Amino acid sequence: MQQRVKQAFSGNSGQESDLYQDEKQIIGSIIHHQISTRGHVTNKTITLRLIEMLETADNAEQQHMLRNALELIVGQSAESVRS
């Protein structure tokens, strides 16, 4: 599981980029929370949590970061379906 998460945030060269670091941190905290409370995590649970957070976000910058994080997860999910 950790390898798939790392691959999700790595570029083509296999090295993590500095792009979307805040979004990756948000996703990482959701993953950590889900694993510590439920013992597992899925893209669906990450997606639902990001949507919940987006609905309650109170400023435009936070909303923008959450939308970007959601796009990262949804894009990764779409790639795994195509594979």
Q: Which residue has the tokens 């959701």?
A: 30
Give the integer Cα–Cα distance in Å for 52 and 35: 18
At 1 the pLDDT is 41
Query: Containing H/E element for 75?
Result: helix 60-82
At 10 the pLDDT is 52
Q: How many C-alpha atoms does 12 have within 13 Å on its Cβ side? A: 0
pLDDT digits over 41-76, tens only?
999 999 999 999 999 999 999 999 999 999 999 987
Calculate the average pLDDT of the chain: 82
pLDDT digits over 9-42, tens only?
554 444 456 789 999 999 999 999 999 999 999 9
Q: What is the DSSP letter of 17?
A: P
Q: What is the DSSP letter of 16?
A: B
Q: How many C-alpha atoms does 65 have within 13 Å on its Cβ side? A: 15
At 75 the pLDDT is 85
